[in-house]
Amino acid sequence: MQLYWRPGSAAFAADAALGEIGVSYERILVERDSSGNVPEDYLRVNPMGQVPTLVDDSLVLPEVAVILLYLADRYPEARLAPAPRADFYRWLVFLTNTLQPALMRHFYPERFGTEGVGPAADRQIHHVYDLIDRALDGRRWLAGDERSAADLMLFMPTEWGGELEPAAWGRPNLRAHFERTLELASVRQAVTDHGMNVP
């Protein structure tokens, strides 16, 4: 099994999930050149050129949510997905389809249009962080009674939001969740490997 990755990218959640499973895998670094292009051989694996991509024998899976769902099914003993799964699906898709794109518009507004993209993204990001903080009130984990792949996924954009004002982890429940998730050995290892800054 191979995971194509880049430090600080959405590959973090897949990396942490593989660590939680305890399966052996090879990480293959995908670097961009000075023009922002990825190597041609990687485009043959993932024509979009984005990371992460998971390769398991002949199966090639791009997109972090897809990878997490696949790993949850492939390794049920790791309990990456709770039962029932509806709330888990809702949060995982919400994080990848709502929060992550808004963060991309914040960090790379020039990719998405003209003036006003960044401030609009920031308003949405803070609204989403507030919503998640409220959802975590009285709960240890985002979906279910045990940690799941949704928690691994939430850790990453919480770290990305550390430079915002207010910082993502400035919200009490989100910060408690962040610190709780950081206690997982696989997460601590991924934080080190990805060179992430944690408060």
Is pTM beyond 0.75? Reply is yes
Edge-to-edge strand ranges of the sheet holding 59-62: 26-29, 2-5, 53-56, 59-62
pLDDT score of 115: 82
pLDDT of residue 196: 86
| 19 and 69 Cβ atoms separated by less than 8 Å | no
Looking at the domain assignment, is residue 38 inside a domain? yes
Judge if 99 and 62 occupy the same domain.
no
Q: Which residues of the chain have pLDDT under 50?
A: none
Question: What distances in angstroms separate CA 143 from CA 58, 148, 156, 190, one per listed residue?
Answer: 31, 7, 16, 21
* Rounded CA separation 72/91 (Å): 15
Looking at residue 111, its pLDDT comes to 85
Instruction: Answer whether residue 99 is part of any domain.
Output: yes
Last residue of a domain, one of 78, 94, 121: 78
Question: Residue 198's pLDDT is what?
Answer: 83
**pLDDT 10s digits, 55-100:** 999 999 999 999 999 999 999 999 999 999 999 999 999 999 999 9
- Reference 151, options 183, 181, 184; nearest CA is 181
| Angstrom distances, CA of residue 76 to CA of 71, 84, 161 | 8, 13, 31
